[in-house]
Structure formats: structure tokens, C-alpha cells
Amino acid sequence: MLFEKGMIRKFIEDSQYDNIIKKAIENHSRLEIEENLDERTLLHSKIIRDADKIDNYRVKKDEKIDAIFPKRVNKIEDMEESNLSDKVYNTILDKKCVDIHDRVTPLDFWVCILAFTFDLNFNVSYKIVKENDYINVLIDRFEYRDIETKNRMERVRKIINEFIMKKIQNK
């Protein structure tokens, strides 16, 4: 809408940054940032991606369950009785973001959000996730009833939290 309806001009008069803004928006929710972007456009794409992921964590910690994944999850029990699919679990074990096409169960959708961590780009982003304890808060939001699922979620917690600590310590 910003570009198709010219709404961008309400926010910025000069068109010199249009391509950077447009590319950053296009790349903010893709599984991976497109290749061959110039350095400046790539930087802004990474900034927008990290900001979006951190905002997702912030919103999901308090959002009503039926608003998180409309028509997929209606009540807390839908999440707590759900299982984590093998494909999504193995993606976490590989420390990668979850492809949206691989999500099957309500819990797959939830863990997909947790896996955003593997695609953060800046040290400050990892620090914000750590300081707000987003991973633990989001995992602890539900009581997983199936023992295998509970064990998998604890493994997810460990993998992601260790990943965050390594990123913070290595930068």
C-alpha cells in the first residue's frame, strides 16, 4: 500500500530511499533475505527483520490465544494438547528458521516464532531477547500435556537459549 497507493509520500517526501524501504519491507518476513542486495539495502532489511521478530516476541507473550493464530488456535488447550511435528522439531535441532509450509500442528506455529532467533542479525537483538527472557516466557506460556512434547519443548528451550548465549558472547 505504501508504494501502490502512493502512501509513502505521507511519511517521506523524497523518493531517493524508496527502493531501500521497499526491499526492506519485501524481505522482512521471507525465510531468507534475497541475494544480491547492495550493502545499504541489506543493512536496512536486516534491521527491519530483527525489529519485526523482536516485536513478535513482545506481542506473543501477552496476546490472547485466539488472536495469535486466528482460526488455527481457539483456546489454550489447543496449544497444550498439541504435538510438535518431527519436521519442525528437526529444523530446530538444525538451528534454522521454520519454513511456514512445514507447519502442521498449533505447536508448530508457536515454535516457528521461537525459531526466529536463528535468523537474528545483530548482537543487540540477541541481548534484547535475552534481557526480556522472551524464549522462556513464550515456552512457559503453555503447559504441554504430552510427555514427549514436553521433553521436546525443553530441548527447544535449551537449544535456543544456548544459541543466544553463544551469539552474545561471540560478538
**Which residues, other chains included, contact 93 with Cβ-Cβ below 8 Å and sequence gap of 6+?**
155, 159
- Provide the H-helix boundaries in 2-122: 8-11, 18-27, 39-60, 65-68, 76-80, 86-93, 106-114
pLDDT at 8: 87
pLDDT beneath 70, residues of the chain: 171
Overall pTM > 0.85: yes
CB hemisphere CA count around 102 (13 angstroms): 20
Read off the pLDDT of residues 45-78 as tens digits, 9 standing for 90 and up. Answer: 999 999 999 999 999 998 988 888 888 888 899 9
At residue 171, the pLDDT reads 60
How much is the pLDDT for 57? 96
Q: Cell numbers at residue 101, please?
A: 509450509
Identify the pLDDT of residue 44: 94
End-to-end, the C-alpha distance of the chain in Å comes to: 37
